[in-house]
Amino acid sequence: MSTAEDFLLIATDPVSGKPLISSPQADPVFGGAFLLDLVTAGRLTLEGEGRKARVIIANRAPVDDPLTELAFDRIRNRGMQKPQHVVTRLGKNGRKDLYESLATKGLVRSRQVKALGIFPLTRHDIIDTARRDDLLTRIRSALLHDQPTDAQTGPLIGLLSAADMVRIVVDKPDRKAAKAKAKVLAEGDWASEGVRKAIQAAQAAITAGVVAATSAAASGSS
């Protein structure tokens, strides 16, 4: 399972099948998830810090996961790139493609509903609730009870923090403390230097991408 797939699993309501991640958030967040997975897989590296950070192709070899490979193929033959550009390209159609991947793996089942009895919508019922429950338990334990993070929960916490979505995994009274803890844990001891740089770059790129997408959506509706 990729970081992107696990993130979508926890960002899907198990009762309604509704995604808890909005359309403006989706592409940049999943682009950030693919960035982390590709750095971990040794395909991408980062040089520089802050505004000078750049993503470099370290290895053009295919990756085993088909969806991560599809995302990688969008940037494989490009030169040095800004993280925000990379995240945008990697995350294109991210939520749709990831739901299809989860359905193929038997983790979700899609169904059609109608909003207001008119507008067709797709919902995704979670079949593998045990995996989702385990991820949420470990994330909450890290955020609220000082349990250690690892290479699986660390990136998820980093993405939740970057997208300001910690609220979907903890109850309201705990959210302020959990958000502060998430910022610390995102770059904790579990992460190698390369992954730590990737998280920093992904967080900045996700934030910029969400702001840009939200602004564009607002302009389009006005």
pLDDT at position 117 is: 74
Distance CA 102, CA 76 (A): 24
**pLDDT one-digit tens code per residue, 24-50:** 788 889 999 999 999 989 999 988 887
Q: Please check whether residue 26 lies inside any domain of the structure.
A: yes
Residue 222 lies in a domain: no
- pTM, entire model: 0.88
Q: Average pLDDT in the 120-143 region?
A: 93
220 part of a folded domain: no
Phi-psi sector, 164: left (phi>0), alpha (psi -120 to 50), beta: left
State the total domains in the chain: 1
- Which residues neighbour 158 within 8 Å (Cβ) at sequence distance 6 or greater? 36, 182, 185, 186, 187, 199, 202, 203
Residue 152: which CATH number?
1.10.3630.10
| Host domain of residue 92 | 3-212
Alpha carbon separation from 148 to 9, 87, 151, 198 (Å, rounded)? 21, 28, 10, 20
Q: How many CA atoms lie within 13 A of 111 on its CB side?
A: 10
pLDDT in tens, 58-83: 999 999 999 999 999 999 998 899 98
